[in-house]
Amino acid sequence: MNDLKLNSDLRKEEIIGKIFTVTIDRPIGSEHPKRINIKYPINYGYIEGIIAPDCEEQDVYILGIDYPLKQFTGKIIAIIHRLNDVEDKWVMAANDKKYSEAEIKRLTYFQEQFYKSIIILW
């Protein structure tokens, strides 16, 4: 348990711009486990060893890859801070690509439409 880090212990400066490896458990095209008729248009996974406030490993959206992945290493470019949920979602981009707040909202809308949130960029 000593190697686990609680997300609540991390500051924005320790997240955005940092490199992490994500295990993809919901690749592009997979169905949402709880919401009927939602398919993932982007890869989505988690970072092993970082525990989010929901007591699960930290979730991450991966932008810029248009095929299903199993694992990906990249840079966190934003945090989607949910105002009406216990956890934040991190956003990772491929190839150091930059995305605007509007682009991130559009690409994550399939799931984030159910939450009120703000996007924290570098």
pLDDT tens, position by position, 71-117: 999 999 999 999 999 999 999 998 788 999 999 999 999 999 999 99
The H or E element that residue 103 is part of is helix 101-112
Instruction: Answer left, alpha or beta for residue 70, where phi above 0 means left and psi between -120 and 50 means alpha.
Output: alpha
pLDDT at residue 3 above 60?
no
| Single-letter code of the amino acid located at 101 | E
**Alpha carbon distances (Å) from 120 to 48, 50, 87, 92, 110:** 22, 19, 14, 13, 19
What is the DSSP-derived secondary structure letter of residue 14?
G
The domain tally of the chain equals 1
Element (H, E) at 111: helix 101-112
Domain containing residue 32: CATH number: 3.90.80.10
Mean pLDDT of the chain: 90
Residue whose C-alpha is closest to residue 111's, from 75, 85, 76, 73: 85
Confidence at 2, pLDDT banded by 50, 70, 90: very low
Domain housing 65: 5-121
Q: Kindly report whether the global pTM for this prediction surpasses the value 0.85.
A: yes
Q: Which residues contact 17 (CB under 8 A, 6 or more apart)?
A: 75, 76, 77, 122
Q: Look at residue 119 and give its three-state secondary structure.
A: strand
